Amino acid sequence: MFGMKGSDELRFYYYWIALFVFAIDFVTKKIVETQMELYQEIKILGGFFVITSHRNKGAAFGILQEQTAFFIIITLLVVAGIVWYIQKNRHTGKPLLLIGLGLVLGGAFGNFLDRALKGEVVDFLQFTFGTYVYPIFNLADSGIVCGVALILIDSLRSIKNENGEKHESNGQDGQQPQQPAQQ
């Protein structure tokens, strides 16, 4: 099982997940960079899903344009923090947390490499919902979002489990007290 002590075959799986996200992001960005012109579009599912070659010099949704040095510093701090937190929690038996951290780590490093080498991030996944065009993103962004979702789910489960333990230890497990048998 993921996250169990002594599990040699899955040792450091969270770093393998990070490496997978980074690699698939890197390869797909290279394909877009080398095989498509900037702003070129390839319709995959009509107007709903389109591969669009785009560059982003800012953060998510194009905010904070031209702040490359800021993003590089922040990303280095985030990556260091994630590695530290993974090491701290690697024996907790919390697979959702560790998988989520691995996804975020891989995505953060994928976008970091783009910013560090080119000063911009290659985005290419575009979805349209009716008249709304969702901001173009990449697989690193997807890894980050999915990872954060898993971390949140893990946090909510931990809170629920902690609250359940508190109620049980206080005799407040939601059950009616048992009446002694009458004779």
Residues annotated as catalytic are 123, 141
C-alpha–C-alpha distance, residues 57 and 71, integer Å: 10
* Helix (H) or strand (E) segment spanning residue 126: strand 121-129
Of 110, 121, 122, 80, the closest CA to residue 18 belongs to 110
Q: Is 95 exposed, middle or buried (0-12, 13-18, 19+ CB in 10 A)?
A: middle
Of 32, 45, 58, the closest CA to residue 138 belongs to 32
C-alpha–C-alpha distance, residues 47 and 49, integer Å: 6
**Cβ-contact 102, 21 below 8 angstroms:** yes
